[in-house]
Amino acid sequence: MKTRLLTGFLSLLMPALVLAGEYDLTVDRVNIDTGDFVKEGIGYNGKSPGPVMRFKEGENVKINVTNNLDEMTSIHWHGLILPFDQDGVPGISYPGIKPGETFTYEFPIQQAGTYWFHSHSGFQEPDGAFGAIVIEPEGREPFRYDRDYVVQLTDKHPHSGDRIMRNLKMMPDYYNREQQTVGEFFSDAAENGLMNTLQDRMAWGDMRMMKADVEDVQGFTGMINGMGPDQNWTGLFEPGERIRLRFINSSAMTYFDVRIPGLDMTVVQADGNNVQPVNVDEFRIGVAETYDVIVRPKDAQAYTIFAESMGRSGYARATLAPEEGMEAAVPQLREPARLTMADMGAMHGMDHGSMDMSGAQDMSEMDHSTMQGMDHSGMDQGSMTMSEKGPSDPFYAKGSGIVPTAANGGKFLSYADLKAQDPLYEDREPTREIELSLTGNMERYTWSINGVKYEDADPIRLQYGERVRFKFVNTTMMTHPMHLHGMWSILDAGAGEWNPVKHTISVAPGTTVYMETEVDAPGQWAFHCHLSYHAAAGMFRKVIVEGGPDATQSKAAVATEEGGDA
């Protein structure tokens, strides 16, 4: 992949050695075999996932991307800080890459850590067009490990992305296998009383949501590094070694709860940025997020990496072992989590103007005391460690049905545990706040921001040099991983100057989450929910950064002229 190092002649003349690497990627039609089914998809250099691109901080990279498809393509370098015209979003950064053409990306690598890359065209990414990026830091890492592995997750579906989107538009619950049944209605009625159950169902109907909408695209096979559960990707180790696992969630739609029974995990990095180490038993990885963990298996035995989908409709599985072919027990999927009325929490007292909220009145008249009784209906009581009030996490609505708990009763990572190891930016007061309501109508499969979908929306205009506080108010029943391109998202985790820096901020139903952005990258950028079908349905914005160095302004004008789909 790395064809040549152009470090020779020029660098001899320069005071500092500048590393320059040239890389080639082809975008190809490939077959993807999950072990459950084989289907055609899109990959890089003949495979999905594509190669692990290994860069070095301080290097200038040149990446030649050749489009062997019969349609337009693009590559977005997810989480990398780079000039906006190298960011790879058709219609925002550039027009895209035509069939048969080669586009050469050139940008300096200004950061270190675990990232990934993927197509930003149509549904090529759900169809397999993604790969991993590993950047070695200039200095030493603030932790030690003997070997490292990329663990790239995806939710491979037998249907193509286009077909899934068509089906969702026709019938939003097409892929929702966990809908409540008539039988469940009667068992709920027996437990909670007929009237309470009726009111509950009616309220949900009025919300244009279904109670089991934890995952709206089910029926996938979870994969790790291109291998399904039975194909069992295996990472080798010598007992006593520290292993760095670089988890990347490249799923179209699926959050995973990840654990390795028998091993403690120490989280040392989130979204490419080092965090103060946190020991956990399990963590939830949102779509597009990355977490790096260090594990230290002391015994010469196999360990299962088990990644259950948040809605428990599927799982990915891999193995760490001293030798190929060894396996450990694969846990059973836990009971599906069910959303509760609490997951609608933020709808009270909000500006309902933009939403279809005909049911809000009925809801506020409900007897809230009955909700307490319902909260646990879908939960695995055995896995609960907390009191009868249920587990809590400040990043989930109080009484939410999807608060994660560790399968072994131990520690589950929360956003509240994430603290920057070495804060990237000085803490300062934001210059202004922008409120973004995450909105949607499940019955029509429309997803939007402030009730307006991308094609009808004005761009968000930011001024170079300001620090903007974004207020995400999730008015929907789904969890949205919000991804701002080009600039860091400083998550307000309540840690002040130690707040972690991320590229993707997950916002759970019924919650309000804040992030701040130092507007330090001129040009125009994409800002969207990273669930593929939500982004495509319109939960997407263009962000324009005004001001800053002059040269970029004229480039922005050129990039927009050609247009195209984002």
Partner 1 sequence: MNASKLLVVAAAMSMSATAFAAGAHGGGHGASSGEPGKASEAGRTITVEMYDNYYEPETIEVKPGETVRFVVENKGNLVHEFNIGTPAMHENHQKEMKMMVEHGVIQGGKLNKQMMDMDMGNGHSMKHDDPNSVLLEPGQSQELVWKFTGKGSIEFACNVPGHYQAGMYGDVNFK
Contact residues for partner 1 (CB under 8 A)? 140, 142-145, 242, 264, 266-268, 276-279, 294, 296, 419, 421-422, 498
Structure-derived torsion over alpha carbons of residues 74, 79, 82, 88, reported in degrees to the nearest 10: 10
The Cα–Cα gap between 146 and 395 comes to: 34
Q: Are 268 and 74 in contact (CB under 8 A)?
A: no
The Cα–Cα gap between 120 and 112 comes to: 23
Using the CB atoms, write b or e for 243-260: b if 16+ within 10 Å.
bbbbbbbbbbbbbbbbbb
Q: Are 216 and 172 in contact (CB under 8 A)?
A: yes
> Coil, strand or helix: which one is 536?
helix
Which one, 191 or 422, has the nearer CB to partner 1?
Answer: 422
Q: What's the closest the beta carbon of residue 140 comes to partner 1, in angstroms?
A: 7
The Cα–Cα gap between 420 and 402 comes to: 26
Q: What's the closest the beta carbon of residue 247 comes to partner 1, in angstroms?
A: 16
Q: What's the closest the beta carbon of residue 136 comes to partner 1, in angstroms?
A: 16
Hey, what are 75's tokens? 């590559």
Q: What's the closest the beta carbon of residue 262 comes to partner 1, in angstroms?
A: 15
Which of 516, 443, 453, 504 has the alpha carbon at shortest distance from 479? 504
User: Please, which residues have CB within 8 angstroms of residue 236's CB and are 6 or more apart in sequence?
Assistant: 320, 321, 322, 323, 324
Q: What's the closest the beta carbon of residue 395 comes to partner 1, in angstroms?
A: 20
The Cα–Cα gap between 294 and 147 comes to: 10
Q: What's the closest the beta carbon of residue 418 comes to partner 1, in angstroms?
A: 12
Q: What's the closest the beta carbon of residue 80 comes to partner 1, in angstroms?
A: 24
The Cα–Cα gap between 259 and 266 comes to: 12
Q: What's the closest the beta carbon of residue 283 comes to partner 1, in angstroms?
A: 13
> Coil, strand or helix: which one is 526?
strand
Strands 265-270 and 315-321: unpaired
Which one, 33 or 136, has the nearer CB to partner 1?
Answer: 136
Q: What is the phi/psi pair of residue 366, to 5°?
A: -70, 155
Which one, 142 or 465, has the nearer CB to partner 1?
Answer: 142
Which one, 82 or 267, has the nearer CB to partner 1?
Answer: 267
90 secondary structure, DSSP code: B
Hey, what are 133's tokens? 């990026």
Which one, 298 or 432, has the nearer CB to partner 1?
Answer: 298
Q: What's the closest the beta carbon of residue 65 comes to partner 1, in angstroms?
A: 36
Q: What is the phi/psi pair of residue 205, to 5°?
A: -60, -40
Which of 11, 324, 368, 42 has the alpha carbon at shortest distance from 200? 368
The Cα–Cα gap between 278 and 267 comes to: 5
Which one, 98 or 298, has the nearer CB to partner 1?
Answer: 298
Strands 60-67 and 20-33: parallel
Q: What's the closest the beta carbon of residue 277 comes to partner 1, in angstroms?
A: 3
Return the residue matching tokens 């707040």: 499
Which one, 129 or 295, has the nearer CB to partner 1?
Answer: 295
Which one, 54 or 296, has the nearer CB to partner 1?
Answer: 296
Q: What's the closest the beta carbon of residue 294 comes to partner 1, in angstroms?
A: 6
Q: Are 73 and 121 in contact (CB under 8 A)?
A: yes
Structural element, H or E, at residue 369: helix 369-374
Q: What's the closest the beta carbon of residue 19 comes to partner 1, in angstroms?
A: 24
> Coil, strand or helix: which one is 553?
helix
Which one, 139 or 325, has the nearer CB to partner 1?
Answer: 139
Q: What's the closest the beta carbon of residue 34 comes to partner 1, in angstroms?
A: 34
Return the residue matching tokens 């992949």: 1
User: Please, which residues have CB within 8 angstroms of residue 173's CB and are 6 or more apart in sequence?
Assistant: 179, 210, 216
CB atoms within 10 A of CB 167: 17
Residue 418 CA from chain centroid, whole number: 16
Which of 445, 355, 346 has the alpha carbon at shortest distance from 397? 346
Q: What's the closest the beta carbon of residue 264 comes to partner 1, in angstroms?
A: 7
